[in-house]
Amino acid sequence: MKVIQLGIGGMGNTWLNAVQRSDEVAYAGFVEINADIAREQATAYNLDPATIYKTLPEALEKLNADAVIDVTPPQFHKENSTLALEAGLPVLSEKPLAGTLEDAQAIVDKARETGVIHMVAQNYRYRPLTQTVKSVLDSGELGAVGAVHAEFFNGPHFGGFREEMAHPLIIDMSIHHFDMMRLFLRSDASEISARSWNPPWSWFNGDASAAAHMRFENGVFTSYSASWCSQALPSSWNANWRFDCEKAVMLVQDDTVTVQDLLRVTDRRGALANVHGERRVVPLLEMEREGQDYLLHEFCEAVTKGKPVATPAQDNIRTVELVFAVVRACDSGETVKLS
């Protein structure tokens, strides 16, 4: 399968490496608007400079491609996806699906109208840690899930578009954690209250800290607390999690999964008391492919063999709706309901 990659700086590096590692996918060419980045990356990755175009319409006209990988900033996703889908080319797009909910919905509508595949790169889903947590929850051994708590703290100095956004943390980072909640709970959020703020030392224009409470359609409550301008003691990018369940508690701390079971509810004298088992560490599942390698393989299988697509835009729109519902809850101070 031959692809055109849009955007070869920043996160484009991760995709350049994934495609160059792949024995299923090769490059037809690239689109990069920044001439310096185009030149540097052509040298660094041994790309043919003649295959790097300034615009997607030019690239679509000159190159013979089967699909597109979009690694540009979110505000360009709608235009890129629309052009590619109308040209009949399947799209693998970086998250967020688009920079606004309206643009994201327009992409989903275009994918439906054209019948062309559109897949979103929610790479955090396809990590051993995430798959391990999901498999423990799906096994039913913990009993019903009552509540989920997630915390994330980091302080990245990216520069660029994130430092100009109104809600950089929620739209660009928490989207991964909210998408993981949907995956873990196999449900969608129905009610959200949230607050966001910016500490005095923040280098982001928009709010880089937030806290949210959500109710999911299956009755599970989640609490989320996060910051992208935390000055020390960073947590894992996957966040720390606590799952309070009927028969056990599962902790995910610094990428280690630990379970403690409730053995019985009476002590030796027969009084009501919770008696626990030893804390046990759950070994992480092994995956043949992870992250971008997994997504690229799934995308290729969907495009070339018609297999069901991982994280299609038609499902991912629910993650985008959740993200923008949290933004609305922060901006209004009101509880937001999703139907």
Ligand X SMILES: NC(=O)c1ccc[n+]([C@@H]2O[C@H](COP(=O)([O-])OP(=O)(O)OC[C@H]3O[C@@H](n4cnc5c(N)ncnc54)[C@H](O)[C@@H]3O)[C@@H](O)[C@H]2O)c1
| Of residues 97 and 248, the one with the C-beta less far from ligand X | 97
Query: Judged by CB under 6 A, which stretch of 7-15, 18-26, 300-308, 314-322 contacts ligand X?
Result: 7-15
| Of residues 76 and 243, the one with the C-beta less far from ligand X | 76
Q: Does 12 bind ligand X (CB under 6 A)?
A: yes
Measured distance between the N- and C-terminal CA atoms of the chain, rounded to whole angstroms: 39
Minimum CB separation of residue 160 from ligand X in Å reads 5
Q: Which of 4, 91, 95, 239 binds ligand X (CB under 6 A)?
A: 95
Q: Which of 4, 28, 104, 121 binds ligand X (CB under 6 A)?
A: 121
What span, in angstroms and rounded, lies between the C-alpha atoms of 99 and 330?
17
- Whether the link from the prior residue into 96 is cis, omega within 30° of 0, is yes
Q: What is the DSSP letter of 74?
A: G
Q: Does 72 bind ligand X (CB under 6 A)?
A: yes
Q: Does 71 bind ligand X (CB under 6 A)?
A: yes
Query: Judged by CB under 6 A, which stretch of 25-33, 83-91, 270-278, 325-333 contacts ligand X?
Result: 25-33
Q: Does 297 bind ligand X (CB under 6 A)?
A: no
Q: Which of 1, 4, 5, 7 binds ligand X (CB under 6 A)?
A: 7
| Of residues 259 and 326, the one with the C-beta less far from ligand X | 326
Return all residues near 267 (Cβ < 8 A) that are at least 6 apart: 273, 275
Minimum CB separation of residue 118 from ligand X in Å reads 14
Query: Judged by CB under 6 A, which stretch of 72-80, 133-141, 218-226, 266-274 contacts ligand X?
Result: 72-80
Answer whether 206's CB lies under 8 Å from 166's CB: yes
What span, in angstroms and rounded, lies between the C-alpha atoms of 8 and 36?
11
H or E stretch covering 291:
helix 291-305
Minimum CB separation of residue 287 from ligand X in Å reads 16
Minimum CB separation of residue 333 from ligand X in Å reads 27
Minimum CB separation of residue 198 from ligand X in Å reads 20
Beta-strand relationship, 272-276 and 280-282: unpaired
| Of residues 128 and 261, the one with the C-beta less far from ligand X | 128
Q: Does 160 bind ligand X (CB under 6 A)?
A: yes
Q: Which amino acid is at 302?
A: A
* Spatial CA neighbour of 329 closest among 188, 225, 194, 166: 194
Q: Does 74 bind ligand X (CB under 6 A)?
A: yes
Minimum CB separation of residue 94 from ligand X in Å reads 4
Beta-strand relationship, 248-253 and 221-227: unpaired
Q: What is the DSSP letter of 216?
A: E
> Which residues within the stretch 167-196 sit at the binding site for ligand X (CB under 6 A)?
172
Task: Please report, to the nearest 10 degrees, the dihedral formed by the alpha carbons of residues 265, 270, 273, 276 taken in order.
Answer: -60
Q: Which of 1, 3, 4, 6 binds ligand X (CB under 6 A)?
A: 6
What span, in angstroms and rounded, lies between the C-alpha atoms of 71 and 162?
14
What span, in angstroms and rounded, lies between the C-alpha atoms of 248 and 295?
32
What span, in angstroms and rounded, lies between the C-alpha atoms of 116 and 56?
17
Q: Does 10 bind ligand X (CB under 6 A)?
A: yes
Q: Does 206 bind ligand X (CB under 6 A)?
A: no
Query: Rounded to 5 degrees, what angle do the CA atoms 120, 122, 127 make?
Result: 145
| Of residues 33 and 211, the one with the C-beta less far from ligand X | 33
Query: Rounded to 5 degrees, what angle do the CA atoms 160, 177, 234 make?
Result: 65
Positions touching ligand X (CB under 6 A) are 6-12, 31-34, 37, 71-74, 76, 94-95, 121, 123, 160-161, 172
